[in-house]
Structures are given as C-alpha cells and as structure tokens.
C-alpha cells in the first residue's frame, strides 16, 4: 500500500492562499447548509477536557471528522492556553492540530498534514465569506485582539474588500498594547480605544476573553459583528446587547451546542451563512447583524484538499 504523504507547515504555507481558499470555503458553507443534498456528512466535534495530575484543567483535545466529495478527513486539535508561557526552544502555539486526508472510495489514507496553519487560515476565510455576504459595502474594520487570528483576518478580509487596504480603515484594540502596536505597524492599521474599534462598520472579536469584552452600546446601529473567539459553551466575548442583533451562524448546530455567546445569551439563530448565500434564508432584517463561527471539519477538509491538489505530485 502506498505510504501517505506528510506535509509540514512550511510546505502548506507555500501553496495555500486566501485567493483560492475563500471561494472554496464559500461553496463548502453553501453545501453544508443545503443538508443531505449538499453532500457534507459531518457530526459535531468530540471534545475531551484535559487535566493535569492534580485535577486542574489545562486544555482540551478534539476530534473533527467529515465526509464530502471524493474525500474523508479528520482533524485532531488541541488548545492549551498555558503554552503562552513557554519560551525559547520550548515555545508552542496555544492551538496545535493534525489533519488526515483519506480517499472516500477506498478509505486509503492519502496524506497527513500539519493543521495549525490550515486552521488559522480557514477560520479567517470563513469570516471573510461572511463579511462579503453581510457587509459588502463596509469601509471600516475594527478588531478586538492582536494575536495570530487578528493578522490572518486582516489578510483574508482584504481579499474580499478593497476598502480595507485604505489608510485608517483598520482599527485595532488589544489589552496588550505592545502587540497591538506591532500588528498595526506590520499591517498598516491604527491602534485605537475599544470604543473606537467597536464603532466601525465591521467589528471583529478575536480575543481570549471568557467574559464579554464587546458591549452593544459601543456599536453603530447597522454594524456587522463577527465573533470568532469564545468557542466553548462557558466563554463569551459579546454581551447580551450585542447578541440582540440578527444572529447568523456558520452552523446552527455548532452555535447552539458550542458557543457560550449563543447559549448564555439565549439568542436564536436566524439563519446559517450558507443559507444566506444560497438565497434560501428569509430576508435579513435591517439593523445590526452578528455572525458567529466556531469552526467546522468541512472547512479543514477544504484546506487540506487544496494542499493535496497542489502537493500530491511533489
């Protein structure tokens, strides 16, 4: 039997682009929301909470399987917030992942690849798809957070909205002023107060907050909020006032089972973004919109498939 190929992050970085990933994610979200006719077979992820020898929580470990098109895939992903304290040769990201891609027809493993960058990029690509669908005329982008996802989101959102290339269009707030300043310098953005970031046309939350950090009273009446952090049932980035806007989810099942912003506010999902883009959702009411993503295995499969197509003959 052929040995599966193994792709490291530098190889993935050399071939995976937002220009290819964003439209592929868009179609995958439409297919997912189409139900059985869309051809995506994906259960909720399975999550194990990890504790140390003394019973203290240290992180979580999840498995995310999916079948779609000619492929099957499963991602294993870990989140260990304590990794931020590791330095030097021991330094590690908080999120680490591996993706296995398999042939649907035979079950043959085709490739195993590092999943950290794919996860980072597909998360940003989902937000870019949502922004393109829900706020195509946006001129300003406010970002709460200054980590890896903040930078990847700027790169992805600039693919779908040329206005975000303009000076002063991107405004960043972070609890870590040094990181915010560095990110703003690298990306041609501006560091502002949290209230100024929240007043933008599109407001993106990519924080490690467990309690609401974005308050609805700061938002403009017709803004789009994209909530990316707080993916556990007990964590929040958005207060109840924010969540009173029309809620669009990446996945209704995912948001209603995994998102603390949704569960703890009692907000109801109006539609999935795939339904909005396919034209099968009801007309979206005027006023504020909130898009909530928690991440799905189909998005990982899409990224892995693009990498496979580019590197399978290498």
- Buried-state track 88-107, b at ≥16 Cβ within 10 A, e below 16: eeeeebbbbbbbbbbeeeee
- Residue 2 confidence (pLDDT): 80
Question: pLDDT higher for 225 or 234?
Answer: 225
Which pLDDT band holds residue 214 (cuts at 50, 70, 90)? very high
Which pLDDT band holds residue 244 (cuts at 50, 70, 90)? very high
Which pLDDT band holds residue 232 (cuts at 50, 70, 90)? confident
Which pLDDT band holds residue 265 (cuts at 50, 70, 90)? very high
Model pLDDT for residues 129-142, shown as the tens digit of each residue: 999 999 999 999 99
Pick the CATH number of 5-118+298-311 from 3.40.1170.10, 3.40.190.10, 3.30.1780.10, 3.90.1150.10: 3.30.1780.10
Span 50-54, mean pLDDT? 93
Model pLDDT for residues 93-119, shown as the tens digit of each residue: 888 999 999 999 999 999 999 999 999
Are 21 and 122 in contact by the 8 Å Cβ rule? The answer is yes
Which pLDDT band holds residue 223 (cuts at 50, 70, 90)? very high
Spatial distance between the Cα atoms of 134 and 108, rounded to a whole number of angstroms:
39
**Per-domain residue ranges for the chain?**
5-118+298-311, 125-296
DSSP sequence for the chain: -PPPEEE-HHHHHHH--HHHHHHHHHHHHHHHHTGGGGTEE-PPPEEEEEE-TTS-EEEEEEEEEEEETTEEEEEEEEE-GGGGG--GGG---SEEEEEEEEETTT--EEEEEE-HHHHHHHHHHHHHHHHHHH-TT---EEEE--SHHHHHHHHHHHHH-GGGGSTT-EEEE-S-HHHHHHHHHHHT-EE--HHHHHTSSEEEE----SS--B-GGGS-TT-EEEE-S--STT--SB-HHHHTSEEEES-HHHHHHH-HHHHTTT--EEEEHHHHHHT-SPPPPSS-EEEE----HHHHHHHHHHHHHHHTT-
Are 241 and 215 in contact by the 8 Å Cβ rule? The answer is yes
Model pLDDT for residues 147-177, shown as the tens digit of each residue: 999 999 999 999 999 999 999 999 999 999 9
**Res. 1: pLDDT tops 80:** no
Model pLDDT for residues 270-305, shown as the tens digit of each residue: 999 999 999 999 999 999 999 999 999 999 999 999
Q: Is 281 exposed, middle or buried (0-12, 13-18, 19+ CB in 10 A)?
A: middle
Compute the mean pLDDT over every residue in the chain, rounded to the nearest whole number.
96
Which pLDDT band holds residue 231 (cuts at 50, 70, 90)? confident
How remote is the C-alpha of 204 from its chain's centroid?
Answer: 11
Residue with tokens 């193994």: 6
Least confident of 82-86, 241-245, 265-269, 297-301: 82-86
Tell whether domain 125-296 is in CATH 3.40.50.720.
yes
pTM > 0.85: yes
Q: What does residue 46 show for φ and ψ, rounded to 5 degrees?
A: -100, 125
Spatial distance between the Cα atoms of 124 and 228, rounded to a whole number of angstroms:
9
- Residue 213 confidence (pLDDT): 97
Which pLDDT band holds residue 84 (cuts at 50, 70, 90)? confident
- Residue 41 confidence (pLDDT): 97
């Amino acid at each position: 039997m052929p040995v599966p190929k193994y792709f490291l992050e530098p190889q993935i970085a050399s071939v995976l682009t937002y220009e290819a990933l964003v439209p592929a994610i868009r179609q995958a979200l439409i297919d997912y929301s189409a139900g059985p006719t869309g051809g995506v077979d994906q259960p909720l992820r399975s999550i194990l909470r990890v504790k140390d020898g003394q019973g203290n929580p240290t992180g979580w470990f999840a498995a995310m399987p999916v079948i779609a098109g000619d492929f099957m895939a499963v991602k294993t992903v870990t989140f260990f917030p304590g990794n931020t304290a590791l330095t030097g040769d021991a330094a590690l990201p908080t999120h680490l992942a591996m993706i296995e891609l398999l042939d649907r027809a035979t079950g043959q493993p085709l490739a195993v690849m590092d999943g950290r960058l794919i996860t980072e990029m597909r998360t940003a690509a989902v937000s870019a798809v949502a922004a393109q669908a829900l706020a195509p005329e946006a001129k300003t982008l406010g970002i709460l957070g200054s980590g890896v996802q903040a930078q990847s989101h700027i790169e992805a959102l600039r693919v779908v909205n040329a206005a975000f290339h303009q000076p002063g269009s991107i405004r960043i707030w972070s609890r870590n002023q040094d990181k915010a300043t560095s990110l703003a310098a690298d990306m041609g953005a501006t560091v502002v107060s949290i209230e100024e970031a929240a007043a933008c046309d599109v407001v993106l939350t990519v924080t490690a907050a467990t309690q609401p950090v974005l308050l609805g009273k700061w938002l403009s009446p017709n803004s789009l909020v994209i909530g990316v952090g707080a993916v556990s049932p007990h964590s929040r980035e958005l207060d109840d006032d924010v969540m009173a806007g029309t809620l669009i989810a990446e996945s209704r099942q995912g948001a209603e089972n995994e998102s603390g912003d949704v569960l703890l506010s009692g907000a109801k999902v109006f539609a999935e973004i795939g339904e909005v883009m396919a034209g099968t959702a009801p007309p979206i009411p005027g006023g504020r919109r909130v898009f909530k993503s928690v991440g799905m295995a189909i998005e990982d499969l899409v990224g892995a498939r693009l990498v496979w197509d580019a590197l399978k003959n290498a």
